[in-house]
Structures are given as C-alpha cells and as structure tokens.
Amino acid sequence: MKVIIAGSKGMLAQDLIPLLTEQHETSSFDQDEVDITDKGRVFEFVGSVKPDLIVNCAAYNQVDQAEADRETAFRVNGEGVKHLALACKEFKSVFCHFSTDYVFDGKGNRPYQPDDEPNPISAYGESKRAGEVFVHSILSDYYLIRTSSLYGKHGPNFVHTILRLAQERDVLKVVEDQVMSPTWTVSLAHGARRH
C-alpha cells in the first residue's frame, strides 16, 4: 500500500514509520513541510501521492496550554483533522486517526469502551473530540484509535520526567488523583500495524 504518515517528528510516529516502511511504500511529513491547518497544502501533498491509507499522528498535545490557547488546539485537532478526512474522501484513502481518553470525563470506574459516551471536560479533550466528530461525519471507512498516556523514547513524557527527577531528587512529589493506562508507543505502533 501507499501510506502517508502525518506528524512524522512526533513520539508515536517515530516508532510507527519504520514499522510501516517494512511492508509499505511510505511518505511522511511534519508541520514544517505540510501544516494540516492549511487545507490547500494538505490536498496538494495527498493528491501528489494518492495514498491507500493516511495515518494521522499530528496533533496539538499540550493539554494544560490548550486551556489558554483553545484556538490553536481546535485549529490543529479539529480543522486540521477535518482537512485530512476531506483529503481521504477526495482521494479514496482509508483514514487512521489517533485520539485520546481525554474525550471522556474520567468519572467512570472501569476501562472505557469504544461506544461509551464522550464528555470532554478540558479544552484539549474538546478539541480532540471535535476532530473525531469530523472524521465520523465525513468518512465511513476509518480507524479511530483512542490511546492514553503515551511514553516512548522519542518524546517528552511522564516516564522520562520521573526517571530524570529520580536522579536529581531524594523525594518526589507526584499527583495521586489521576488514574491512567500508560501506553508504550512501540506497543501501540505494532497494534496499529496489525489492524
């Protein structure tokens, strides 16, 4: 297959691209080459490749900063995803998009299921949900993978932070009111490739 991966310099993409490249003809970009908020540029790139599949790893992921900068969060995670979905429709590509557990309100006491009702309670969660809604409404053939608390060797993450602080300090103070399912980017990349 011909596969485009968006957000190529990100933590997940850097583990996913080599795996996909073993089996497929891949091309990838990050925002310095194609900004997904620029619909014309997205269509130009996708049209030049006419891929069978587009995998979107591009996102605005700064959860706390999104509260003060909702506009950027919605532009990238909402409009940007809409442009990729529209390009998939135009060029008859399947879409694989990554979303997040932040589309839920976190009040449940069991692992979330795909059909659970989204109810985001943060700007980041709302912006990622906006992207999901565009995907649902534009496409019928897509994969939507909601992942959680990624860690991997190619990006800043909770595990890196704790390992660094553990070397610097004798005592660590860490939030205790948050429950998450840490997900290794390599596991997610293998799981995504299988499907």
Ligand X SMILES: NC(=O)c1ccc[n+]([C@@H]2O[C@H](COP(=O)([O-])OP(=O)(O)OC[C@H]3O[C@@H](n4cnc5c(N)ncnc54)[C@H](OP(=O)(O)O)[C@@H]3O)[C@@H](O)[C@H]2O)c1
Catalytic residues: 124
Smallest distance from ligand X to CB 10, Å: 2
| Selection from 114, 53, 125 nearest residue 84 by Cα | 53
Nearer to ligand X, 50 or 154 (CB): 154
Nearer to ligand X, 170 or 190 (CB): 190
Which positions lie near ligand X, rule CB under 6 A? 7, 9-12, 30-31, 35-37, 57-61, 76, 80, 98, 100, 147-150, 155
Which residue number is nearest to ligand X in terms of Cβ?
Answer: 10
Cβ contact 151:183 at 8 Å? yes
Please state whether beta strands 2-6 and 53-56 pair in parallel, antiparallel, or not at all (unpaired). parallel
Nearer to ligand X, 21 or 31 (CB): 31
Smallest distance from ligand X to CB 90, Å: 18
Nearer to ligand X, 57 or 135 (CB): 57
Residue linked to tokens 């992207």: 131
Residue 2 tokens, joined: 């011909």
- Please give the radius of gyration of the chain, using alpha carbons only, rounded to the nearest integer: 17
Smallest distance from ligand X to CB 101, Å: 6
Angle at 185 between CA 149 and CA 156, to 5 degrees: 60
Cβ contact 144:97 at 8 Å? yes
